[in-house]
Amino acid sequence: MSGSRESSAQAGTGGADDLVGIGFGPSNLALAIAIADHNRRDPGQALQTGFLEQQAAFGWHRGMLLEGATMQVSFLKDLVTMRDPSSPFSFLVYLQQRGRLADFINQKSFFPTRIEFHDYFEWCAAEFAADVAYGQRATEIRPVVVDGRVEAVDVVSRSTTDPADEQVRRTRNLAVGTGLTPRLPEGVELGDHVWHTRDLMFRAPALTDRPHRRFTVVGAGQSAAEAVDYLHRTFPDAEVCAVFSRYGYSPADDSPFANRIFDPDAVDHFFDAPEPVKQDLLDYHGNTNYSVVDGDLIEQLYRTVYQEKVQGRERLRILNTTRLTGVEQGPDGARAMIRSLTTGEEFALESDAVVLATGYRPVDPRPLLGELAAACLTDEQGRLRVDRDHRILTADHVDVGIYLQGGTEHTHGITSSLLSTLAVRSGEICDSLLLRRTARDLRTDFGRGAQVGAAAG
């Protein structure tokens, strides 16, 4: 974001970008690709965009890039294929350019490793290095009001390394893709020995002083099971305790009919459904994504537990039907307080680290939107109302489009925070931007024509 670019933007809304994306994870990366594909096809109608990302470089769940961990979605659900299989940003083109296309095919698998898919994301993101201001955190959204209408917004950002470095970029539309924030048990705070799984690969290798020879992992989902497996393999001298309220890990329902809940058409069905049906669908198909584990990993962990019983040294302990009630942090570890749900017994696990695989929650964009948040419409439950094109419904005087990349499960279904429909969603947002720009241009032309007619009269 150069100074000259900023100055021209401040001169009026005519110099505003078509879109500024806040956050540059997979969602806004997919949107950048969709817009780039459009601009290449129709340069005369190109959209001008820019993105802000607080990380110093592109990164997606780096703390869970565990060796051997595979994706839970097909490689065909990459950033483009479901929208346009001919896009030069497909996973297959990536493989070809990396010289691994034949090798990947010979694996006979639809599921690449998480490390490889992250490399694919980085390969795509490299094409947009000039369009992304890394190390910039959006701090404020200022409405630009012209004749009583919010025609644009100024996006204020500051450098993560130099708070005095403030930049402003004017835009007619926002794409909020700030991702998810960790969900923590009530009363529990993160610390040197209390981690969320998002930080597992950053924290665990650096933990050289381990007086307790024990890790406690809280949670029953895929991340929890992967953390248990990783810690058990990486620290052969340590006990790993898995704490969850269920009797055992539940397998994910990845059967073909159930997987149709992730199809693009399913978003239309969910959006048009009555509110009680929406909730029913979320309840029926929560086992496709939430608190469930890949079946192969469940069997692997069970075999480990059994073999350790045979050998008489049980390092992997499955503490089912239990709940974490608190964590006490100390200088050399953390004490996990556990309660049995069946007997009521309470006990403590002195641990070198307590790992919380307790999931994520979407980030509410309203604090960032500032005074513009008051113009965002909500439903009877206080949730943002979001149109089919992923745009927040706003008061009539707001012309700025605020698009949400996530946090729309209540309106668009279970895929809101997942990769499955990123490609299609990005195309829908790009189409919406083009339609709204055309409508704005028509209104401007009509207004000019009315002024000319009035003058002639």
- The 10s digit of each residue's pLDDT in 337-392 is 999 999 999 999 999 999 999 999 999 999 999 999 999 999 999 999 999 999 99
Residue 7's pLDDT is what? 35
Residue 442's pLDDT is what? 87
259 φ, ψ (degrees, to nearest 5): -65, -15
- Amino acid making up residue 131: D
pLDDT digits (tens, 9 = 90+) for 295-317: 999 999 999 999 999 999 999 99
What's the burial of 11, exposed, middle or buried (CB within 10 Å: 0-12/13-18/19+)?
Answer: exposed
Residue 450's pLDDT is what? 56
Q: How many residues does the chain have?
A: 457
- What six digits make up the tokens of 297? 């990993």
Report the interhelical angle of 422-456 vs 264-272 (nearest 10°): 60
Residue 15's pLDDT is what? 83
What's the burial of 306, exposed, middle or buried (CB within 10 Å: 0-12/13-18/19+)?
Answer: exposed
Neighbours of 382 (CB within 10 A): 6
Residue 335's pLDDT is what? 98
Neighbours of 425 (CB within 10 A): 28
- What six digits make up the tokens of 99? 């010289």
Residue 456's pLDDT is what? 58
pTM: 0.93
Give SS3 for 18: coil
- What six digits make up the tokens of 347? 């006990």
What's the burial of 225, exposed, middle or buried (CB within 10 Å: 0-12/13-18/19+)?
Answer: buried
% of the chain residues with pLDDT over 90: 91
The phi-psi region of residue 151 (left if phi > 0; otherwise alpha if psi is between -120 and 50; otherwise beta) is alpha
- 173 membership: H or E segment, kind and range: strand 173-176
Residue 126's pLDDT is what? 98
Give SS3 for 28: helix
CB 398 within 8 A of CB 220: no
pLDDT digits (tens, 9 = 90+) for 253-274: 999 999 999 999 999 999 999 9
% of the chain residues with pLDDT over 70: 94
For residue 348, the Cα-to-chain-centroid distance in whole angstroms is 34
- What six digits make up the tokens of 186? 């009530």
For residue 254, the Cα-to-chain-centroid distance in whole angstroms is 21
Residue 457's pLDDT is what? 57
- Tokens 């601009």, located at residue: 39
CB 424 within 8 A of CB 413: no
Residue 403's pLDDT is what? 98
- Amino acid making up residue 294: D
CB 30 within 8 A of CB 23: no
Please name the residues in contact with 124: beta carbons below 8 A apart, sequence gap of 6 or more.
Answer: 29, 33, 79, 89, 94
Q: What are the DSSP E strand ranges found in 299-424?
A: 316-319, 322-330, 333-340, 346-351, 353-356, 360-362, 401-404
**DSSP for 197-255, written as a single string:** GGGHHHHGGG----SS-EEEEE-SSHHHHHHHHHHHHH-TTSEEEEE-SSSSPPBP---
- What six digits make up the tokens of 28? 């806004």
368/361 Cα distance (integer angstroms)? 16
Residue 451's pLDDT is what? 58
115/423 Cα distance (integer angstroms)? 20
**pLDDT at residue 64 is higher than 80:** yes
Closest CA to 152 of 304, 332, 15: 15
Give SS3 for 185: coil
pLDDT band at residue 2 under the 50/70/90 scheme: very low
